[in-house]
């Protein structure tokens, strides 16, 4: 059996093993597993209901920016500065939208693939950007709201620094593929 088949086998077994471990742990500690499951499901549903307005607001805002043509306009304007630095203009909207919405960013990446191809510098860099960056504002608004975190002191500057680092790394790595 080659290594990839072994990894595939392990990955297929991993989640059932974790579930089995949780059940055994609960039985070992004499927990009421069904009651704990139902309580967890109730809490999860409350969390979902509390973050839905935030999700709708973020998705609506990104959809409006994209449909209005503002992202394309901004890409052309900012691209005048970034192109000489080696950062292609088509990646400008992706770098901004990615901080707000992963699904909207995925749509932009698919548009980039259609226009430039998946094996182009722009296509490869867009793929790397999706891997090396995070939905900063989505994560902060949704998860901090759900966890009732109010003191976010250095979270936003740190997250933006990490995102900029991920974008730069994507461009550098994209040149080598």
Residue 23: pLDDT over 60: yes
Q: Are 44 and 127 in contact (CB under 8 A)?
A: no
User: How far is it, in rounded angstroms, from Cα 19 to Cα 38?
Assistant: 16
What pLDDT, on a 0 to 100 scale, did the predictor assign at position 161?
96
Residue 1 pLDDT exceeds 60 = no
Q: Is 32 a domain residue?
A: no
Pick the closest to residue 90 from 63, 71, 64, 62 (CA basis): 71
The token duo for 152 is 């976010």
- Domain span holding position 81: 41-176
Judged by DSSP in three states, 31 sits in coil
In a domain, 52, yes or no: yes
Q: Is residue 158 part of a domain?
A: yes
Tell me what the mean pLDDT of segment 101-118 comes to. Answer: 90
Torsion of CA 142, 146, 150, 151, to 10 degrees: -70
Confidence of residue 48 (pLDDT cuts 50, 70, 90): confident
Highest mean pLDDT among 51-65, 115-129, 145-159: 115-129
Helices of type H across 69-148: 70-82, 91-97, 102-116, 121-132, 136-146
Confidence at residue 51, expressed as pLDDT on a 0 to 100 scale: 77
In a domain? residue 115: yes
- Residue 176: which pLDDT band, with cuts at 50, 70 and 90? confident
Model confidence at 93: pLDDT above 60:
yes
* Residue 163 within any structural domain of the chain: yes
Q: Given a cut of 60, is residue 2 above it in pLDDT?
A: yes
Q: Using a pLDDT cut of 70, give the percent of the chain over it.
A: 99
Cα end-to-end span (Å), the chain:
30
In a domain, 18, yes or no: no
Q: How many domains does one find in the chain? A: 1
Q: 104, exposed or middle or buried, with CB in 10 Å at 0-12, 13-18, 19+?
A: buried
What local confidence, expressed as pLDDT, does residue 123 receive? Answer: 96
Both structure tokens of 177: 């593929």
Of 149, 170, 39, 158, the C-alpha closest to 95 is 170
- Counting DSSP H helices and E strands in the chain, the numbers are 8, 0
Residue 14 lies in a domain: no
């Amino acid at each position: 059996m080659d290594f990839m088949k072994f990894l595939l086998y392990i990955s297929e077994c991993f989640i059932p093993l974790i579930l089995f471990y949780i059940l055994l742990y609960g039985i070992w500690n004499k927990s009421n597993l069904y009651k704990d499951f139902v309580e967890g499901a109730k809490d999860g549903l409350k969390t979902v209901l509390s973050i839905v307005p935030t999700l709708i607001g973020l998705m609506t805002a990104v959809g409006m920016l994209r449909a209005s043509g503002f992202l394309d306009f901004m890409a052309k304007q900012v691209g005048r500065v970034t192109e000489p630095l080696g950062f292609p203009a088509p990646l400008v909207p992706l770098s901004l939208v990615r901080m707000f919405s992963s699904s909207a960013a995925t749509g932009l990446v698919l548009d980039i693939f259609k226009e430039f191809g998946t094996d182009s510098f722009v296509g490869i860099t867009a793929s790397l950007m999706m891997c090396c960056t995070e939905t900063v504002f989505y994560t902060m608004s949704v998860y901090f709201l759900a966890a009732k975190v109010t003191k976010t002191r250095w979270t936003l500057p740190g997250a933006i620094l990490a995102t900029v680092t991920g974008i730069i790394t994507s461009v550098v790595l994209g040149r080598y593929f």
